[in-house]
Structure 1
Amino acid sequence: MTSPTSPAEPGTPTARTPRTPSAIDAIADAYVLTVADLNPLAATAMGLTGYDHRMTDLSPAGYEALAAADRAVLAELADVEPVDDVDRVTLAAMRERIGLSLELHEAGEDLSLLNNIASPLQELRDIFDMMPTGTVEAWENVAARLAALPGAMDGYIASLRAGAARGNVAAIRQVREGVKQARELADPETSFFVTFVRGEEAAAVLDESAACSLVRKELEIGAADAVAAYGRLAAFLEDELAPQAPTADGVGRERYALASRNFLGAEVDLEETYRWGLEELARVIAEQEAVAAQIAGPGATVEEAVAILDADPSRKLDGTDALRAWMQETSDAAIQALDGVHFDIPTPVLDLECMIAPTQTGGIYYTPPSDDFSRPGRMWWSVPPGVTEFNTWREKTTVYHEGVPGHHLQCGQAVAARDTLNSWRRLACWVSGHGEGWALYAERLMADLGYLDDPGDRLGMLDGQRMRAARVVLDIGVHLGLDAPEEWRGDSEDPRWDADKAWEFLKANVNMDESFVRFELNRYLGWPGQAPSYKVGQRLWEQTRDAARAAAEARGEEFDVKAFHERALNLGSVGLDVLRGALR
């Protein structure tokens, strides 16, 4: 990779050696446009203009068209030679990502996508959070996409039916959760689609003109059709798919190993990783107990420290307006403190917009900026119904995870890297282990830099690290059917992990409301391999950094961690094996 040639002033892009796009870049850029054409929802997520009125074909034919495009681009890449290090990383990353996508397709995994958080059931609704709504044209796009949603839903149902014919059906727990979510979106009075098209955003743009009246009418029709489509999905899931769904949550070693590679971009020894997860969990608990003693006195438990923090009025926020303002203030302060000192943040990335999400699931997430930064990077907090009080000690580390130096710096820096990276590298490639691993790495980095020295804030960081370590154990244990440690077997005669053992284990290691813990457990059971990618990704990031430090010291050089971070983030999101190879 080309590297910075001179130090930058705070808030200015880092100077780079000019680079002429290569033949591999041309192939990668063309592939992004092909994907955008076949998957307009992905185009919206990437922030590419011109696709917001269209809908993705979620039928078996749609997935096969994407697979054909994957085969075609891999064939093209086989006939070109890299001209520099940037090309070499692109070639390795595309072959790994696209090749794995084909493996998943050939295994029929794309025909059985159903869980409680990340499947077409949610995607068809969540994409509207990312669509522009500031102009009449934007609302025309919303109306057109709503009109196309029923066809996409019918395609999704056809895919689930085709997957079932191949013996690929989500576990009954996920099917039932799907029914529940679909029913909520099918309610003609309270559905998101109904409230969205009648909400303040639409009212602020659509005036009383004849043209706007027509758009409003199309929006109402589209919302009603979307509601009906989710009703059809709920009925299909309940009446047709549920009777075919297995009761076992675990997917088995073969499917899990493929999923793990997908989320990490690396192949790991699953048993070794499971054992490491248990060791890491014990280490984090010990660190928590040491911090708890600082808060509540020698010998105090973590629970006693948490009670003190939760009762501290200086650490409370009342209402979502206060929450959003605190998120923004904390994020802005981190950007100002880190820029030009520990990172050189490109100018467009200095802006991060903190939002209260229109959903109410309890999740906190990040959406990257659009290609031209007209849509800024955004941190979203989805507040559950009835929750009005928030504790800052739990969440300062979350702001660093989702913002800077976490996802916003990582994603924004890649999007801004037009001078070196093609559009596939900047916009289209996302590897969970790389991204979520970096975000956890960023949390620990902020602690190391002194930004979490307050014992409460540090306990909050460790609280999140504990949950992430616990789910490495749970996820691998349940899906591979490994034996649980003695203390988590309860009265069961079967020593193997299952949902009941996982529930007791998770409750003991996650300091959150039980409704959140239940949602999280369902997520891990229905999305195998994804949850461990956070903590395992952090481990691989730390191993990569430590290897770079050891290599520098072996050469008699002082290790420059700021330069390491700069070089690593300038690669964009790639599989972790590719990352290690590029930084070696």
Structure 2
Amino acid sequence: MTTDAHPSRTPTAIDAIADRYVTTIARLDPLAATAMGLSGYDHLMTDLSPAGHQAQADAARAVLAELDAATPEDDTDRVTLAAMRERIGLDLELHEADELLGQLNNIASPVQGLRDVFDLMPTATPEHWDAVVARLEALPGAAAGVVESLRLAASRGRVAARRQVLECVAQAEQLAAEDTSFFTTFVTGPAAQAALSGAPDADGRREALARGAAAARAAYEQLATFLRDELLPLAPAEDAVGAERYRLWSRYFLGAEVDLEETYRWGLEELDRIIAEQDEVAARIAGPGATVADAIAELDKDPARVLHGTEELRRWMQETSDAAVTALRGTHFEIPDALLALECMIAPTQNGGIYYTGPSDDFSRPGRMWWSVPPGVETFTTWREKTTVYHEGVPGHHLQIAQAVYQRSTLNAWRRLGCWVSGHGEGWALYAERLMADLGFMDDPGDRLGMLDAQRMRAARVVLDIGVHLGLDRPERWGGGRWDAETAWEFLRANVNMDEGFLRFELNRYLGWPGQAPSYKVGQRLWEAARDEAAAAAVRRGQEADLKAFHARALGLGSVGLDVLRSALV
């Protein structure tokens, strides 16, 4: 399928239920609507108070009741039913455990979400900026709702660890300070100036943006004060969440239930396997007996592998991504015309993250790969990052997420836009990295070492994340004793080739977002198991295993829990 033609399907009653639920989500959570690329909600703000959380929970219960009364008409309906029951059921479990009400961490909580949504809002016209003004003006009310929810969660004994509260205080203070705030530069930046130049009442609109930015900064100042003065004294020093809470979050991020202690042991074995492969590649780069550190030193001093400045980085990302699309289209993957546009961007934030945002429902907003470059970082090495481009772009997140959005004639809106399972998404992206190596795109020893470096980090955090949160014993090879933040830091430094600032951010992320980091590597494991099982099933039917057909079938399902994926493919 190298054109925009694709099969159609008559929508069913279950599709209608799913579509209506997406509309309900958009109404109750306009921030999610913006993330999904649904128009008409960008001027609105999500109610993050306890009442807002309760309204979303009530809607979840209502749609599950509708689904219980519905009869599936085909296999697509059967997957929809299984996927919605699994996802929405877990949303309710998290709600009832006060996990959503008290959520606070350094990367994926309301402290970040209220700012990050502005990266996704359209900014090409004066009317787009009017929506920005409305949302900025609504931000203080949303922040007050966050405070109300955190207070209620605290009264029920659910307070994030001290480390996470401190991280959020620092982020809120930065967003509150006029000279460092994203909001200050956002409303006065090139996009705003270009859109408002010559527009009716341009000066009035600029003044409204300045007031909105001031209101947003004040909201973050009040949020920082609450976190520092009221919540921090209640925050426990202990980072680990314990087995019961961890199992719930692991199920949420994987869409599958796994044996955590077996997964921990597998993580250790996988780490050893990757280290052995790294050692072999290092010898190819720096000579017999060379260590991984020796090979890294050789690669880092090679001027052909160094990029200077963010614009050179962005161009290289775009060229690498475009080349992958050209090479893979029609050979290993079906890539529709609508997916050819993938924009590589330097993010307005500076926290070191690299991430993908999907296209809007109508593809007017293309899929985008973002690189958040920390202050002072001016050089980048291609050997480390080629695998990242494949992870975020094609055949990784862009092919996966945009392909689901594209399936308008076969998938309902919830399947295309409303469902995201980390283990499915991030597991696929790691699967894609390794696949590109298997297909010969990482034959250069430096690029291959970069892929292995990324895989080693993902294996290490399976071990670290489960080990810390479940309070497991460390193997003697890694120092013995029990896992905690200090031993996790030593382990991370020994296994991950990153600057200390990046690494500290990563460690805090694992400590504050239990179960999410392992979903990458465990998700890859489950994806590979699903592929192998599907191939074996084909052979049993007397058919030849077809990897390209497997990919098309699997990606055509959209993002679903990994247990649902497995049952749908076999």
Aligned residue number for residue 79 of structure 1? 69
Residue among 362, 376, 380 paired with 1:386: 376
Residue among 285, 304, 322 paired with 1:295: 285
Deviation at 1:209, TM superposition (A): 5.5
Deviation at 1:208, TM superposition (A): 5.4
Aligned residue number for residue 560 of structure 1? 546
Deviation at 1:19, TM superposition (A): 1.1
Residue among 100, 104, 107 paired with 2:94: 104
Structure 1 residue matching 2:100: 3-state secondary structure? helix
The amino acid across from 1:578 in the alignment is V
The separation in 2 between residues aligned to 1:464 and 1:453, in whole angstroms, is 16
Deviation at 1:497, TM superposition (A): 0.3
The 5 Å alignment of 1:348-497 reads 348-489=338-479, 495-497=481-483
The amino acid across from 1:127 in the alignment is V
The separation in 2 between residues aligned to 1:309 and 1:114, in whole angstroms, is 39
The 5 Å alignment of 1:186-201 reads 186-201=176-191
Residue among 104, 107, 114 paired with 1:124: 114
The separation in 2 between residues aligned to 1:67 and 1:554, in whole angstroms, is 44
The amino acid across from 1:131 in the alignment is M
**8 Å CA contact 1:397, 1:460 repeated in 2:** yes
The separation in 2 between residues aligned to 1:148 and 1:214, in whole angstroms, is 19
Deviation at 1:74, TM superposition (A): 0.3
Aligned residue number for residue 5 of structure 1? none
Residue among 282, 287, 308 paired with 2:298: 308
The separation in 2 between residues aligned to 1:63 and 1:500, in whole angstroms, is 35
Aligned residue number for residue 32 of structure 2? 42
The separation in 2 between residues aligned to 1:315 and 1:266, in whole angstroms, is 40
Residue among 470, 475, 489 paired with 1:503: 489
The 5 Å alignment of 1:542-581 reads 542-581=528-567
Per-residue Cα deviation, 1:154-196 (whole angstroms, up to 9, x for no partner): 0001001111001000000000011110000010222110111
Structure 2 residue matching 1:109: 3-state secondary structure? coil
TM-score by length of 1: 0.97
The separation in 1 between residues aligned to 2:515 and 2:303, in whole angstroms, is 39
The amino acid across from 1:137 in the alignment is E
Aligned residue number for residue 225 of structure 2? 235
The separation in 1 between residues aligned to 2:372 and 2:399, in whole angstroms, is 21
Residue among 121, 128, 135 paired with 1:138: 128
Structure 2 residue matching 1:110: 3-state secondary structure? coil
- In the alignment, structure 1 residue 515 sits paired with structure 2 residue 501: yes
Deviation at 1:488, TM superposition (A): 2.9
Aligned residue number for residue 144 of structure 2? 154
Deviation at 1:434, TM superposition (A): 0.1
Residue among 2, 6, 13 paired with 2:4: 13
Residue among 206, 209, 212 paired with 2:202: 212
Deviation at 1:214, TM superposition (A): 1.7
Deviation at 1:401, TM superposition (A): 0.3
The amino acid across from 1:398 in the alignment is T
Deviation at 1:34, TM superposition (A): 0.3
Aligned residue number for residue 245 of structure 2? 255
- In the alignment, structure 1 residue 540 sits paired with structure 2 residue 530: no
Provide the aligned length of Structure 1 versus Structure 2: 570
**8 Å CA contact 1:13, 1:344 repeated in 2:** no
The separation in 2 between residues aligned to 1:254 and 1:344, in whole angstroms, is 42
The separation in 1 between residues aligned to 2:32 and 2:368, in whole angstroms, is 17
Deviation at 1:205, TM superposition (A): 1.3
The separation in 2 between residues aligned to 1:561 and 1:287, in whole angstroms, is 25
- In the alignment, structure 1 residue 345 sits paired with structure 2 residue 338: no
The separation in 2 between residues aligned to 1:482 and 1:57, in whole angstroms, is 39
Aligned residue number for residue 89 of structure 1? 79
Structure 1 residue matching 2:525: 3-state secondary structure? helix
Uncovered stretches (5+) of structure 2, i.e. residues with no partner: none
The separation in 1 between residues aligned to 2:301 and 2:4, in whole angstroms, is 44
The separation in 1 between residues aligned to 2:119 and 2:203, in whole angstroms, is 23
Q: Which moved more, 1:190-199 or 1:36-45?
A: 190-199
Residue among 276, 286, 290 paired with 2:276: 286
The separation in 2 between residues aligned to 1:350 and 1:175, in whole angstroms, is 41
The separation in 2 between residues aligned to 1:386 and 1:240, in whole angstroms, is 34
- In the alignment, structure 1 residue 334 sits paired with structure 2 residue 324: yes
Per-residue Cα deviation, 1:474-533 (whole angstroms, up to 9, x for no partner): 00000000011123337xxxx210000000000000001011011000000000000000
The separation in 1 between residues aligned to 2:478 and 2:548, in whole angstroms, is 42
The separation in 2 between residues aligned to 1:43 and 1:352, in whole angstroms, is 21
Deviation at 1:135, TM superposition (A): 0.0
**8 Å CA contact 1:440, 1:534 repeated in 2:** yes
Deviation at 1:298, TM superposition (A): 1.2
Per-residue Cα deviation, 1:19-74 (whole angstroms, up to 9, x for no partner): 10000000000000000000000000000000000000000000000000000000
Compared CA separation, residues 148 and 428, structure 1 to 2 (3 A): same
Aligned residue number for residue 4 of structure 1? none
Structure 2 residue matching 1:111: 3-state secondary structure? coil
The separation in 2 between residues aligned to 1:552 and 1:286, in whole angstroms, is 33
The separation in 2 between residues aligned to 1:94 and 1:347, in whole angstroms, is 29
Residue identity (%): 73
Q: Which moved more, 1:464-473 or 1:291-300?
A: 291-300
Deviation at 1:210, TM superposition (A): 5.4
Per-residue Cα deviation, 1:246-273 (whole angstroms, up to 9, x for no partner): 0000000000000000000000000000
**8 Å CA contact 2:126, 2:199 repeated in 1:** no
Per-residue Cα deviation, 1:443-478 (whole angstroms, up to 9, x for no partner): 000000000000000000000000000000000000
The separation in 1 between residues aligned to 2:35 and 2:360, in whole angstroms, is 8
Deviation at 1:558, TM superposition (A): 1.5
Per-residue Cα deviation, 1:83-113 (whole angstroms, up to 9, x for no partner): 0000000000000000000000000011111
Compared CA separation, residues 440 and 93, structure 1 to 2 (3 A): same
Aligned residue number for residue 184 of structure 1? 174
Per-residue Cα deviation, 1:427-453 (whole angstroms, up to 9, x for no partner): 010000000000000000000000000
Structure 2 residue matching 1:355: 3-state secondary structure? strand
**8 Å CA contact 1:13, 1:345 repeated in 2:** no
